Amino acid sequence: MGPERVTFGGRLLPAALIAPQLLIVGLFFYWPAVQAVWQSFQMQDAFGLSTEFVWFENYRALFTDPGYYQALVTTLVFAAAVAGLSLGIALLLATMADREIRGAGIYRTLLIWPYAVAPAVAGVLFGFLFQPGLGLIARGLTQIGIPWNPLLDGNHAMILVVMAAAWKQISYNFLFFLAGLQAIPRSVIEAAAIDGAGPARRFWTIVFPLLSPTTFFLMVVNVVYAFCETFGVIDVLTHGGPGRATQTLVYKVYQDGRIGADLGGSAAQSVVLMAIVIGLTAIQFRYVEKRVAY
Amino acid sequence: MAGLTLDTLRKTYSGGVDAVRGVSLDVPDGAFCVLVGPSGCGKSTVLRMIAGLETVTAGAITIGGRVVNDVEPAERDIAMVFQNYALYPHMRVYDNLAYGLRNRGTPKAEIETRVTEAARLLGLEAMLTRYPRQLSGGQRQRVAMGRAIVRKPQVFLFDEPLSNLDAKLRVQMRVEIRRLQRQLGVTTVYVTHDQVEAMTMADRLVVMNGGEIEQVGTPIEIYRRPATRYVATFMGSPPMNILGAEAVAGGVRIDGTVIPVAGMTAGTAVEAGIRPEDLRIAEDGLPFRIAFVEELGATRLLHGPLAGTDVAVQVPAGSTAQEGDTVRLAIDGTALHLFDPATGRRLAQG
Ligand SMILES: Nc1ncnc2c1ncn2[C@@H]1O[C@H](COP(=O)(O)OP(=O)(O)OP(=O)(O)O)[C@@H](O)[C@H]1O
Ligand SMILES: [Mg+2]
């Protein structure tokens, strides 16, 4: 037996039912994607007056550009830091929320809110907090002797965007970690306690391994997020600067395309970015299929 | 090895539930003690307090002469087998068995010896490299037991370990657990709500109800001389029949017939219990109209009203009584269990 299947007579109704969804996906995803691929094979002159079909010239230029590799490295550092930070903090919070504590309900609800905040707004928020001379946290840092200035110091700028980007993602990770923790039978943890494992050892030898499917899933989601969805945070906070300290791949797409007016090169970058995301997602699906839940 | 003592143990959960209300129990070294009782009577709570998984509200738990109320579960030198087995799903059987030893820093060679020994005892040698999900329910059960025995603890705790197994496997594992426990001689507390399991496995049987102990004794003592009406009807299948009766000098009157019971004095109302196998069809006695018959193979159960209550009568397979027949039942005064209707306690009788 299985769940009962609903069947429709004819084809018109099912087609009509999925049409809006298909339309949206087609309009806002497939169409731009196809456009990007098409554009990546073209080159425009500086004034946008003439367009030439150049095959892989844009890609060749891209892969021989040291600036592109620099942006790639920046992105990898950024993604690793965002994923690491947001996963780490979310796991810590989830472990705390998993215990039966008073007010756990409120605590959980509050933790979920940041997810509803748009990246750009998160950026503005962190911008305020960390604004040299004005921001609450920035002044605190200066007072304890850290010459905080993300406008001049590339590392400070990177730390700032990492924090803003990670902050927003914590809620999402928290929800999944909490669900993962609650799926671990209490008796397994109790058995480990009787078996002589202290809290830390229980966490690392029982809880963490049992959470690993969740952790892996979240890692991919967070890396994809850091690669593609952090434009707003970077745009609001640093504009990719100072210099190119926080210029990630997605921000470079924007800078080269919008500001540099190199539409072909920018499109080629988008296509590469898209390929990376597709690759990550494919890995994830393979992994999910292979490792069925415990 | 060590004995276990509970001294007026109490547990009130944070919600205000009085789960255990003053349980005192003495389990001698090496004994197999079974806690039995209906769902929600506090059996698991008692066991979990012994294990250190629940805090104690009041009273004391002593293992091997040491009060362990404030001792961590790991330091109590106990091992517990859970109803759902609680195996570590991401570890192979070998590692499941070795985990507790590794946590205690046992040398590798000794872990190997002990795990192999436990696997041999339980017939798990061929499964050491499998994951729990690759085992059947019975095999998982064995691994859970293996995990308990490798550590050579002072006390084994079992919480309904067989309730997830099918009937046949349950009988087999019942024997096996008992055999292992005898062989190892480890003091054991075993929780079940299955009275057959309780009767067959216990050295010392503890019947609980509503967070209190009703009676402690050997299975035979409890079966032969139940201390309360509750125990009388809880232990035994089919349960003991309880008839309304009146005490008269030298006997009890049931439905107008006086049955001689030594040492009775006249006066009060009593409740008279009689087990289905102690009722016999005879030439004369109380009239009993058979409402329906249950065929059990070796015996037959006749159901019907007697002295105003529905009772069961167990007769040999050879009996020819049929549905609709009216027969007479003889009651032997020495087979009667008399209880005070107000308190439910057994009345002193000859
Ligand atoms: N964590 C808890 N918080 C509050 N009340 C609880 C908790 N655990 C158990 N109880 C209550 O305590 C009482 C005894 O529960 P316990 O689990 O000891 O029963 P049990 O005899 O093991 O029953 P069963 O045969 O169904 O397992 C029940 O009324 C139960 O609802
Ligand atoms: Mg229970």
Same-domain status, B45 and B27? yes
In a domain, A86, yes or no: yes
Total Cβ atoms within 10 A of residue B308: 10
Cα separation, A27 vs A14, in Å, equals 20
Number of domains in chain A: 1
Dump pLDDT digits (tens) for B313-334.
999 988 888 898 899 998 988 8
Six token digits for residue A127: 């911008």
Please state the atom number of ligand 1 nearest to the C-alpha of residue B54.
Answer: 1
In a domain, A50, yes or no: no
- Residue A101: which domain range? 65-290
Residue where one domain finishes, among candidates B215, B233, B251: B233
- Do residues B241 and B248 make contact, with C-beta atoms less than 8 angstroms apart? no
Contacts of A185 in chain B (CB under 8 A): 84, 86
Same-domain status, B192 and B223? yes
Specify which of A150-154, A159-163, B205-209, B306-310 reaches the highest per-range mean pLDDT. B205-209
Q: Is A83 part of the contact surface with chain B (CB cutoff 8 Å)?
A: no
pLDDT over threshold 50, residue A1: no
Same-domain status, B150 and B277? no
Please state the atom number of ligand 1 nearest to the C-alpha of residue B42.
Answer: 18
In a domain, B60, yes or no: yes
Mutate to test the interface with A, among B13, B55, B90, B189 (most CBs of A within 10 A): B90
In a domain, B348, yes or no: no
CA-nearest residue to A200 within chain B is: B103
pLDDT over threshold 60, residue A294: no
Contact between chains at B87 and A201 (C-beta distance less than 8 A): no
The whole-number pLDDT of residue A261 equals 67
Q: How confident is the model at residue B35 (pLDDT cuts 50, 70, 90)?
A: very high
Alpha-carbon gap: A252 to the closest alpha carbon of chain B (Å): 43
In a domain, A34, yes or no: no
Provide long-range contacts, Cβ within 8 A and 24+ apart, for B318-324: B319/B281, B321/B281, B321/B290, B321/B293, B322/B290, B322/B293, B323/B290, B323/B291, B323/B292, B323/B293, B324/B289, B324/B290
In a domain, B85, yes or no: yes
The whole-number pLDDT of residue A83 equals 93
Side-chain-side CA neighbours of A74 within 13 Å: the count stands at 26
Same-domain status, B141 and B268? no
In a domain, A275, yes or no: yes
Tally: H helices and E strands in chain B: 8, 21
Query: What's this model's pTM, rounded to 2 decimal places?
Result: 0.81
Expressed in angstroms and rounded, the spacing between residue B282 Cα and the centre of ligand 2 is 44
Same-domain status, B131 and B243? no
Residue where one domain finishes, among candidates B204, B233, B262: B233
Same-domain status, B182 and B145? yes
Contacts of B83 in chain A (CB under 8 A): 187
Same-domain status, B200 and B272? no
Q: Is A54 part of the contact surface with chain B (CB cutoff 8 Å)?
A: no
Contacts of A206 in chain B (CB under 8 A): 88
In a domain, B347, yes or no: no
DSSP one-letter string for B271-331: EEEE-GGG-EEESSSEEEE--EEEE-SSEEEEEEEETTEEEEEEEETT----TT-EEEEE-
Q: How far is CA B167 from CA B138, B199, B294, B298, in A?
A: 11, 16, 20, 19
Same-domain status, B220 and B266? no
Dump pLDDT digits (tens) for B197-219.
999 999 999 999 999 999 999 99
pLDDT over threshold 90, residue A66: no
In a domain, A130, yes or no: yes
Dump pLDDT digits (tens) for A168-226.
888 889 889 988 888 889 899 999 999 988 889 999 999 999 998 889 889 988 998 88
Expressed in angstroms and rounded, the spacing between residue B160 Cα and the centre of ligand 1 is 13
Q: Ligand 1 site: residues with CB under 6 angstroms?
A: B 13, 15, 17, 19, 37, 39-45, 193
Q: What is the CATH classification number for the domain harbouring A211? A: 1.10.3720.10
The whole-number pLDDT of residue A289 equals 67
In a domain, B270, yes or no: yes
Segment 177-206 of chain A within 8 Å of chain B by CB: 185, 187-188, 190-198, 201, 205-206
Dump pLDDT digits (tens) for B263-317.
888 878 889 999 999 999 988 888 999 999 999 988 999 999 988 899 999 999 8
Q: What is the CATH classification number for the domain harbouring B223? A: 3.40.50.300
Mutate to test the interface with B, among A186, A188, A195 (most CBs of B within 10 A): A195
Which is higher by pLDDT, A151 or B12? B12
CA-nearest residue to A194 within chain B is: B74
Residue where one domain finishes, among candidates B198, B233, B268: B233
Same-domain status, B262 and B198? no
Cα separation, B63 vs B6, in Å, equals 9
Q: Which of A65-69, A103-107, B122-126, B175-179 has the lowest mean pLDDT?
A: A103-107
In which region does residue B121 sit, left (phi positive, over 0), alpha (psi from -120 to 50) or beta (all else)?
alpha
Q: How far is CA B67 from CA B8, B20, B24, B212, in A?
A: 13, 19, 14, 21
Alpha-carbon gap: B243 to the closest alpha carbon of chain A (Å): 44
Same-domain status, B259 and B227? no
The whole-number pLDDT of residue A290 equals 64
Contact between chains at B86 and A185 (C-beta distance less than 8 A): yes
Same-domain status, B157 and B300? no
Which is higher by pLDDT, B6 or A292? B6
Distance from CA of residue A138 to its chain's centroid? 25
Confidence check on the interface: ipTM exceeds 0.90, yes or no: no
Contact between chains at B99 and A188 (C-beta distance less than 8 A): no
Size of the A and B interface in Cβ pairs below 8 Å: 60
- Residue B167: which domain range? 4-233
Q: What is the CATH classification number for the domain harbouring B259? A: 2.40.50.140
Contacts of B99 in chain A (CB under 8 A): 192, 195, 197, 205
Q: Tokens 């069961």 belong to which residue?
A: B312
In a domain, A24, yes or no: no
In a domain, A176, yes or no: yes
CA-nearest residue to B77 within chain A is: A194
Contact between chains at B133 and A294 (C-beta distance less than 8 A): yes
Atom 7 of ligand 1: nearest residue by CA position: B13
Provide long-range contacts, Cβ within 8 A and 24+ apart, for B11-18: B11/B42, B11/B45, B11/B46, B11/B49, B11/B54, B11/B56, B11/B57, B12/B57, B18/B211
Contact between chains at A194 and B104 (C-beta distance less than 8 A): no
Contact between chains at A195 and B151 (C-beta distance less than 8 A): yes
The CA radius of gyration of chain B, in Å to the nearest whole number, is 24
- Do residues B287 and B308 make contact, with C-beta atoms less than 8 angstroms apart? no
Same-domain status, B134 and B61? yes
Six token digits for residue A40: 């990546």
The whole-number pLDDT of residue B112 equals 93
Mutate to test the interface with A, among B55, B77, B80 (most CBs of A within 10 A): B80
In a domain, A152, yes or no: yes
For residues A43-56, give the mean pLDDT: 70
Number of domains in chain B: 2
